[in-house]
Structure 1
Amino acid sequence: MAEGDAGETSDNFDCVPCQMQDIPKNATNWCTTCEEGLCDNCNIHHKANKASRSHTTIAVGKLKSLDPFVSSLKTTCDVHNLPLELFCPNHEAPCCSSCAANSHATCLGITSFQKVTQEANNSNQIDDINAKLDDLLSQVDIMIKNRKDNKTKIIDQAGSHKSKMKELRKNINDHLDILENQLQSKSDNLITLETGAIENVVKRLKVKRHDIDNLKNNILNLKDVGSNAQKYIGGKKAELTIGEENKILASLADTSDMAEVSLEFTVDPMTEETIMKSIDVYMKKETGNSKSKEKVSSCQTIPDETTILQKIFDTSVFDRHATISSIVVLPWEEVIVSAYSRNSIVVFSPLGTMEQTIPLMHAPFGLAYIGCDEIAISVPKTEIILIFTTKSYTKRRQIEVNSQCWGIDFANDMLLVAIRYKGILFLDKIGSMIKRVSMSNSNLTYVHMFMDRYYRAEFTDSSVHCYSSTGKKIWCFSEADALGTRNMCSDSEGNLFVACQDSNRVILISKDGTSSKTVLETREPKAIWFDSKSSVLYVWSLNGDNLSTYRLT
């Protein structure tokens, strides 16, 4: 568009040659070279004039339909207000004569801009661009259709899944009915057996009471009618009988016949976690057919790292029903895994081969290396922490916690212990309490300590909480793509690795808790360990079917 000389209004353009003669007349044509409006008569003269014979003119109506796009395509220099007559092939840009002399003095191949535009026009450049734009429009239409089809698909799937959920609910209810009947039958049998045993003890005690009562009556009668000699002999005999009966009663009190019996109903705490893991609804995202893809880092405050697979361990010892809870890597790179479902810990060599399985009486959960060739093993059911030597993997001692102890960690010469409904205990190596942080969380399971901070992961609401050494909460982390947060470990800078079992990934949270990024995508990661010296991340899946190490570079 002409700058200041066209005299256009919001609706009409003036004919510039007529305007210069003080003849007001609306333009019907527009010269794209002169950037001026022309009436019909002036347009005829414009095309006949030798200087403007090669200029291109278009109807004003067409120009209005292109505005403001065309108005942004200036053919005059913004700096010198001179026409763009030259073209620099080095910069692939048009320029005026002043720019050519000042800014492009060292550029080779300066040529006429009109020649370049003519060649471009002859080469069907606009047609090629239009074809490319048609391709883009087609791609956009394909993507729109893809999204609409996907929307219809997930709505249909939702209806299908509702039917499946109802069927699943019916099957679960039927199973629970069977389970309830079985438990009720078992309960009735236990009650029958135990009440029968108690009644037998009561019968024996009643006989004993009857004998003692008879002895008492005889002694009272002896007092009234017996001679002195009979009273003496009878009294001595009664004392002997009393002594014997006391021994019999004392002995009976120490037997299982007099044990306090309770009928208890228990549910394995791992059942809740297993059910929550086994039944879920989520959006599964796969790479689509669209051509436009961008990858944007979700964490800008922690360094970018490349994850390289290093080693895959032999996991044939575990079946598909196994449940792994924790992992610890010893300074000499032996790897110990707590197999909760197998009531054992399993030791692997640095090469990844299985060395031995150590059976335990009950299911182990947490693991921690506490130095001096010792590891700590938490056993929730028995409410104890076992201390094993790593030389022979035998028990050295145990710490009585008197509450179900789940995740554990060791740092700063302190053993960190997660106690559901109560809080986090800080113990020394022999089990003496250093301090306790009260928490009423029913799912307090996974804890970790690094330097002067400690952390807990809440798998039910997929959150991670950071606390100072005094127990003050510093930050809480939660993200939609970090679900089912489990075990944690730290790098040397205090950034926190977290196994997100339900999102099938391991993430790294910045020290301040403000950002995160995915460092590894793998199926159901649960137990993790990071060796800061070698920058190696150990990752074990929930079912134990995959243990691998990855070097972060």
Structure 2
Amino acid sequence: MSSEDYHKLPKFMQEKIKVPGIEEIKPSFFTRLTIPEEMKTLSIFSCRILPDGNLIILDYRKRQLLLFSNDGIFIGIVVTFTQETYDVCFVRKRTVAVALGASNQTKLVDTEKNKIIQTIKLSHNCYGVASDGETLVISNNDRQSTRMNLNDMSHTILERMERLDCISLFQGNIYGTFPEENKVCCYDSTGEPLWTVQHQDIDYPLGITLDINGFVYTASSRNDSIVVISPDGKSCKTILSEADGIKEPIGIDINRETGIMIVSSKIMEDRSYTDFETAFVYKI
């Protein structure tokens, strides 16, 4: 239940159902991805948790969609693209959407059959993607964004949503990051701005996701941290930092049903002087 729904309940019901406050959010480490030696040059731009618990990683360097088990073991390459890859999101059933940047394309991929099943062509850059199963929103880090109806593939231009980087959807609202301006914003389904957060804890925010209660999580890349924002945008708190092993995070996702969170990070192995990228998995 979201905090919005919680506050609509009668007080006697609120007493029985407790939505945690922002101070109670404390991730506990579960595991990290085991990256095969030959893949330690990967560059993780996005990471997602599939409904079955498996993990999807988007490697920008080799333009590959990679599949890992829920305990972090590499399963295989799903698809290799010819265009630059920027973001991935789960759509429905076994399908994910991958944003392909300046090619102005987003491709739908069947993760079980390991093949591209549809190409969506737009008039703008495709940088961030987010879906609720019925709609697909594609952000453009230059001009307006697009909302697409997945049932009939009709689309609407969201003219007020310009220069968005990564995006996420929750209860009809659209959430996005503006890295250069250190901002996290919330819009309604038509692209009308609802709130904006700029906070000293947020430095070059990239990936963004929400939990089941509507708390907003963002990867604050330049200060090596994960920051959570209250559903109304009024409170902000760092929940993971460099002290927890986080370094230059980009991708983040939460399975709202299980409370499992994945965060990309650079890491240096013992007896090694070379950073490589992996992802940490937490329970929130």
* TM class by smaller structure: 0.7 to 0.9
- Residue 74 (structure 2) pairs with residue 354 (structure 1): yes
Letter in 1 for 2:222: D
- Are the aligned partners of 1:399 and 1:430 in contact in 2 as well (CA < 8 Å)? no
Change over 3 Å in CA distance of 1:440–1:528 after alignment to 2 = closer
SS at match of 1:546: strand
For the aligned residue pairs, the C-alpha RMSD in angstroms reads 2.1
Deviation at 1:399, TM superposition (A): 1.0
Deviation readout 1:6-30 (Å, 9 max, x if unpaired): xxxxxxxxxxxxxxxxxxxxxxxxx
Deviation readout 1:333-371 (Å, 9 max, x if unpaired): 111111111111111112211111232112211111111
Letter in 2 for 1:549: V
- Are the aligned partners of 1:523 and 1:541 in contact in 2 as well (CA < 8 Å)? yes
Letter in 2 for 1:491: D
Letter in 2 for 1:485: P
Per residue, is there more helix in 1 or in 2?
Answer: 1
1:422 matched to which residue of 2? Answer: 143
Q: 1:453 aligned to 173, 181, 197, which one?
A: 173
Change over 3 Å in CA distance of 1:470–1:396 after alignment to 2 = closer
Deviation at 1:510, TM superposition (A): 0.1
Deviation readout 1:516-542 (Å, 9 max, x if unpaired): 111111111110111222222111126
- Residue 201 (structure 2) pairs with residue 492 (structure 1): no
SS at match of 1:425: strand
- Are the aligned partners of 1:421 and 1:439 in contact in 2 as well (CA < 8 Å)? no
Letter in 1 for 2:282: Y
CA–CA separation in structure 1 for the residues paired with 2:184 and 2:138: 17
Change over 3 Å in CA distance of 1:465–1:503 after alignment to 2 = same
TM-score (norm 2): 0.82
Deviation at 1:425, TM superposition (A): 0.6
Q: 1:397 aligned to 107, 118, 129, which one?
A: 118
Deviation readout 1:432-480 (Å, 9 max, x if unpaired): 3332211484x43211111121111001111101112233211110112
Change over 3 Å in CA distance of 1:517–1:377 after alignment to 2 = same
- Are the aligned partners of 1:536 and 1:550 in contact in 2 as well (CA < 8 Å)? yes
TM-score (norm 1): 0.43
2:264 matched to which residue of 1? Answer: 540
SS at match of 2:222: helix
CA–CA separation in structure 1 for the residues paired with 2:61 and 2:104: 17
What does 1:340-351 align with in structure 2 at a 5 Å threshold? 340-351=60-71
- Are the aligned partners of 1:475 and 1:513 in contact in 2 as well (CA < 8 Å)? yes
Unaligned runs of 5+ in 2: 1-19, 267-274
2:44 matched to which residue of 1? Answer: 324
- Residue 240 (structure 2) pairs with residue 520 (structure 1): yes
CA–CA separation in structure 2 for the residues paired with 1:531 and 1:544: 25
Letter in 2 for 1:530: I
CA–CA separation in structure 1 for the residues paired with 2:276 and 2:46: 11
Deviation readout 1:62-121 (Å, 9 max, x if unpaired): xxxxxxxxxxxxxxxxxxxxxxxxxxxxxxxxxxxxxxxxxxxxxxxxxxxxxxxxxxxx
CA–CA separation in structure 2 for the residues paired with 1:403 and 1:461: 22
2:16 matched to which residue of 1? Answer: none
Per residue, is there more strand in 1 or in 2?
Answer: 2
2:14 matched to which residue of 1? Answer: none
SS at match of 1:526: coil
Letter in 1 for 2:258: S
Deviation readout 1:186-210 (Å, 9 max, x if unpaired): xxxxxxxxxxxxxxxxxxxxxxxxx
Change over 3 Å in CA distance of 1:456–1:412 after alignment to 2 = same
Deviation at 1:544, TM superposition (A): 5.8
- Are the aligned partners of 1:301 and 1:515 in contact in 2 as well (CA < 8 Å)? no
Change over 3 Å in CA distance of 1:348–1:431 after alignment to 2 = farther
Deviation at 1:430, TM superposition (A): 6.2
SS at match of 2:168: strand
1:4 matched to which residue of 2? Answer: none
CA–CA separation in structure 1 for the residues paired with 2:82 and 2:65: 11
Identity fraction in percent: 18
Aligned length: 251
Structure exhibiting the larger radius of gyration computed from Cα positions: 1
Deviation readout 1:48-73 (Å, 9 max, x if unpaired): xxxxxxxxxxxxxxxxxxxxxxxxxx
1:385 matched to which residue of 2? Answer: 106
CA–CA separation in structure 2 for the residues paired with 1:340 and 1:347: 14
Deviation at 1:422, TM superposition (A): 2.5
SS at match of 1:449: strand
Deviation at 1:403, TM superposition (A): 2.2
